[in-house]
Structure 1
Amino acid sequence: MSRPRPRRRWEPDILGEGFDQLTLDLPGGRVTTLVRYTPSDPPSGPTPGPTADVLYVHGWSDYFFQTELARYWAGQGARFFAVDLHNYGRSLRPGEEPGYVRDLSDYDADLDAALQAMGQNAADARPLILLGHSTGGLTLAVWAHRNPGRAAALILNSPWLEFQATELARRVISPLVSLEAQHHPRRPLPPVDPGIYTRTVSAAFGGEWQYDTEWRPVRGFPVTVAFLHAVFSAQATVAAGLHLQLPVLVLLSDNSYLHPRWSEDAARSDVVLDVNVVAHRSLSLGSTVSVDRIPDAMHDVFLSAPAVRARAYNAITRWGSGYLRALPHFGKARLPEG
C-alpha cells in the first residue's frame, strides 16, 4: 500500500518579500506551481478586505516574474495569484520537455488545482478575474468558454488568438500539422525566433528586466508539432465564436514589428503577433469585448517602457471602474511603485 503524499505548504518564492509559492500535484506525476503576493505594507487605516481574486497565466517560453503587476492588483484591493503551468518555470522538472503539450485543455488540471488552492471552490469564494498573456490568454479564453460562470471577468494581454499569417493560412496548414502531431508529436519545427524579443526585454541586452534564462530562454523553447497543433485547435475554437458571457478586456500594442533583423522599432512594438489580426479576432470572444490599443507597447504590455505600462494600468483601471463591480473601491488605490 503506497503512502499518501505529504501535504504541500506555502514556501518563500524566488521573487522575494511578499511572494510565496505552493507546489500542487497533478495526475501523472506532474506538478504546477501557484505563486501569491501578500503586500508587506498594506494601506494604512481601515480598508475593506480583498474583494476579488486575480489569477495570472503566462505565455509560451515564460513564467511569472512580473512583480509590478502583482503590486498593481494588490493596490486595487484584490488578492493576486499566478501559476507556472506544468513543464514551465517553477514547475519544470529534470527530464521534462519544456512547454510540451498536446492540447491546451491539458492545462485544465493546473487551473483547477490552482483555483482550489485559492479557495475558489468554496461557496463564499471571491469573484474571479482571469488574466492571461499570449498563449496563456488563448488558454484562458477557451477555458472560460468550457467553464461558463466560473470567472467574473477576463483580461487578455496580447493574446495569441489567431495565427500571424491570417486565418486562411492556419486553415490550410492545420490539417498537415494535425496529421504530423498524431505520428510525431515531439518533432521540432524550424526555429523562427531570432532573439529580438529577448533583446527588447532582458537587462542583459539593454532591456529593463532580469529573469531566469533557463525558464525563459533567449530564443524560446523548441516548438514541437504537438504544441502548434494545440494552438491551432484552440484558435479554431475562438474563430468559431466563444460567446463568452463575461466582460473581456484585450490589451494590445498599436503596432507590430515582424522582421528578422533588429531595429529600435522593436522596443515599441509587438514582435510576436500581428496585432491587427488579433484585434479583429478579439471580436469572436463574446458580446462584451473592449480592445485597448496601447501606443508603443511590446508583446508583453506589462514589460514595456514605464510610461507605456502606466497607460496599460490606467486602461485596466478605467475599464474596471465600469465592469469590475466586485471591486467597489477599484481605481481609488495607488499605481504600483518600482
Structure 2
Amino acid sequence: MQEPLVAPGPTAARGWEPDLLEGYERRTLELAPDFEGDVVATLVRPRRDAPPADDAGVDLVYVHGWTDYFFQTHLADFWEGLGVRFHALDLRKYGRSLRPHHTPGFVTSLRTYDEDIEAALAEIGHGPRDRTDRRLVLMGHSTGGLVLSLWTHHRPGRADALILNSPWLEFQTRKVGRLVLEPSIRAQAAIAPRSHLVNLDLGFYARSISARHDGAWEVDPAWRPDDGWRTTPAWLAAIFSGHDRVSRGLSIDVPVLVLLSARSTPPVRWSDEMMRTDTVLDVAGVAARVPQLGPLTTLARIDGALHDVTLSAPEVRDAVWFETTRWFRAYVPPLPAPEPAPGPRGWRRWFSGRFPARTPRG
C-alpha cells in the first residue's frame, strides 16, 4: 500500500492546512484509537476568504463510497454556486485518512463511522449541543449513502435533508443472496475478521472514470486502485447488517433525494455500455429499497449515468444538476427574511409620522 501523496503536517490536528487539491484546505480530525493504532478522519473544503455572496444559510457534508475519497471538485463548485458551504469527509482508513498501519476501509460495524461524522459536524458548528440558524444537508455516495441513511435514521432532528448518490441500500444479489452468503461470511468474520475475500472487481468501473483509461477524471491510484481493495469478512458482515436494517424500514424524518442510474451492466466483460450505466450496483434492487427509507423520498433515475452519477458524461451531469437543483429549491428553500423590528405604537406612531426626527445641524 502506498502512503498518501501529502502526509499530514505537524499542525494538522490544530487547524486547517492546504490540501493536495488546488484551492482547497483540509483539517485532520483526531479519533479514538482502535486495535490498529491511531485513527483519523479528514474534513476538506474550498478555501474561502469570505462567506459566499449569495449565502443560502446551508452547510453540506459529503461522504464518499468504498475504495474512494473526495476528488470531485466540480461537485463542490455546483453546491457553492447555489450558496451552499460545501465540506467533504474522508472517513477513517480512506484517502487522506489512510495510514500505512491501517487495513484499508476496515471496520466491524457501520456505527463506527458515527464518530467520524460527529467530529466533522462539530467542526462546522452542527454538533448536538451547537445552536445555529444554518441548515444541514448530508450527501452520501454508495457505501457513504448507506452510512448516512443509518446515521440520519438514528438521529432524528439533526439534519434538514439527505441526498443519496447511488446509495448501496441492497446487496447486488438482493436479499436472497444475502441470506445465502451471510452465515459463512459471519463465521469467517468471527475467526479471521481481516482475512481477504475473493476480489470480484475486474476494474471496469475504474476504467470508465479514470483519465488513465477511458474516463475523464484524475484519480489517485494509491487511494483508489483500479481493482479496488480486497474486502474482509468483518467489513462485509457490517454491510449485510446495514442492508438488513434498511430492508426492515427506516424512519428518516427529512426529505430524501436518491439519484440513480437508469440501468445496470453486470461487470463480467467490458463493453461500451459501461460508459453509461452503473457497473457496481443492481439499480433495480436499490430502487426497490428507496420507499423504505422514510415517509418523504424522491427517486430520480438518470439515463446514461455511471455509478457515481456526478462523474457521468457532461450532458448526463446536466440532468443530475437540474434534478438536484429542482429538489433542493423545493425542500430546502431559503429561510424567510427576518421581520423588521416593531415600530412605535399608539400615540408614538401618530407623533413620529407627523413630526419626523430632525437631523442636527453641524
For normalisation by structure 1, the TM-score amounts to: 0.91
User: Could you list the runs of 5+ residues in structure 1 that have no partner in the other structure?
Assistant: 330-338
Aligned counterpart, 2:229: 221
Aligned counterpart, 1:334: none
Query: Could you tell me how far 1:37 is from its partner in structure 2?
Result: 1.6
Matched to 1:22, the amino acid is R
Query: Could you tell me how far 1:320 is from its partner in structure 2?
Result: 1.2
SS at match of 1:271: coil
CA shift in 2, pair 1:25/1:209, >3 Å:
same
State whether residues 13 and 30 of structure 2, in contact with CA within 8 Å, keep that contact through their aligned partners in structure 1: no
Whole-angstrom CA distance in 2 between matches of 1:88 and 1:97: 10
CA shift in 2, pair 1:195/1:127, >3 Å:
same
CA shift in 2, pair 1:239/1:132, >3 Å:
same
Aligned counterpart, 1:333: none
2:289 corresponds, among 260, 265, 281, to 281
Aligned counterpart, 1:100: 106
Equivalent runs, 1:33-182 vs 2, <5 Å = 33-38=42-47, 47-121=53-127, 122-182=130-190
Aligned counterpart, 1:247: 255
Query: Could you tell me how far 1:328 is from its partner in structure 2?
Result: 7.2
Alignment size in residue pairs? 321
1:104-150 Cα deviation digits (max 9, x unpaired)? 11111100110000111220151110000000000000011111111
1:271 corresponds, among 267, 273, 279, to 279
1:232 corresponds, among 240, 243, 254, to 240
Q: Which entry has the higher C-alpha Rg, 1 or 2?
A: 2
Aligned counterpart, 2:7: none
SS at match of 1:27: strand
SS at match of 2:76: helix
Aligned counterpart, 1:195: 203
Whole-angstrom CA distance in 2 between matches of 1:66 and 1:302: 8
Whole-angstrom CA distance in 2 between matches of 1:294 and 1:101: 32
Matched to 2:281, the amino acid is L
Matched to 1:271, the amino acid is T
Aligned counterpart, 1:321: 329
State whether residues 8 and 24 of structure 1, in contact with CA within 8 Å, keep that contact through their aligned partners in structure 2: no
Query: Could you tell me how far 1:322 is from its partner in structure 2?
Result: 1.1
SS at match of 1:260: coil
Whole-angstrom CA distance in 2 between matches of 1:15 and 1:135: 23
Query: Could you tell me how far 1:259 is from its partner in structure 2?
Result: 3.1
State whether residues 300 and 323 of structure 2, in contact with CA within 8 Å, keep that contact through their aligned partners in structure 1: yes
Is 1:307 aligned with 2:315? yes
CA shift in 2, pair 1:319/1:252, >3 Å:
same
State whether residues 57 and 133 of structure 2, in contact with CA within 8 Å, keep that contact through their aligned partners in structure 1: no
Matched to 2:40, the amino acid is V
Percent of aligned positions that are identical: 48
Aligned counterpart, 1:335: none
1:232-265 Cα deviation digits (max 9, x unpaired)? 0001010110011110000000010013111000
Whole-angstrom CA distance in 1 between matches of 2:104 and 2:19: 21
1:31 corresponds, among 30, 40, 45, to 40
State whether residues 12 and 27 of structure 2, in contact with CA within 8 Å, keep that contact through their aligned partners in structure 1: no
CA shift in 2, pair 1:6/1:201, >3 Å:
closer
Query: Which structure exhibits the higher relative contact order, with contacts defined as CA atoms closer than 8 Å and separated by 6 or more residues?
Result: 1
User: Could you list the runs of 5+ residues in structure 2 that have no partner in the other structure?
Assistant: 1-10, 338-362
Matched to 2:182, the amino acid is S
1:11-65 Cα deviation digits (max 9, x unpaired)? 0111101x1100010001211000012467987xxx4434111000000000000
CA shift in 2, pair 1:111/1:86, >3 Å:
same
Is 1:294 aligned with 2:299? no
Higher mean C-alpha deviation, range 50-59 or range 319-328: 319-328
Is 1:21 aligned with 2:26? yes
State whether residues 57 and 133 of structure 1, in contact with CA within 8 Å, keep that contact through their aligned partners in structure 2: yes
Matched to 1:248, the amino acid is V
Query: Could you tell me how far 1:206 is from its partner in structure 2?
Result: 2.2
Superposition misfits of 4+ residues, deviation over 2 angstroms: 38-43, 47-50, 325-329
Aligned counterpart, 2:8: none
Matched to 1:318, the amino acid is R
Matched to 2:162, the amino acid is L
SS at match of 2:212: helix
